[in-house]
Amino acid sequence: MNTINSIIRILEIPPLKSHNNILRTKFRAELPYVRNKVEYHAVVDCTIWGELACDLVNYYRINDYVLIEGYVLTLPNSKENQSNITLNIVRLYPFLFKFEISN
């Protein structure tokens, strides 16, 4: 099983799209990891479906950190001999975000 539980940083939030009457959004996120005491950042594509996609668009902003649960997909890249990593997110929890109160 290719499951993932991780903290990601949201890099962009595109508008919602409808696919067979189900709302969906795709966005890019940064996945930090540490190897040999050096911190790296990998940019991954993420997909969220349904009510969770609405919540992402309405409540989260760029540079917010969220805790995710989901599945990892690796898709072959035709231009290079590398794979694109895509995350299908099934659960999303706030971790660090900027809370603003407007009057």
In a domain, 101, yes or no: no
Q: Which of 16-20, 27-31, 52-56 has the lowest mean pLDDT?
A: 16-20
In a domain, 83, yes or no: yes
In a domain, 102, yes or no: no
CATH code of the domain in which 7 resides: 2.40.50.140
Q: Which residue in 18, 17, 7 sits closest to 87, CA to CA?
A: 7
Residue 48's domain comprises 3-96
Quick: pLDDT tens for 34-93: 778 777 788 889 999 999 999 999 988 898 999 999 999 887 766 665 567 889 999 999
In a domain, 25, yes or no: yes
Cβ neighbourhood burial of 56 (10 Å; 0-12, 13-18, 19+): buried
User: CA-to-CA distance for 38 and 20, rounded, in angstroms?
Assistant: 44
Total structural domains within the chain: 1
In a domain, 103, yes or no: no
Query: Above 70 in pLDDT, residue 1?
Result: no
User: CA-to-CA distance for 16 and 56, rounded, in angstroms?
Assistant: 10
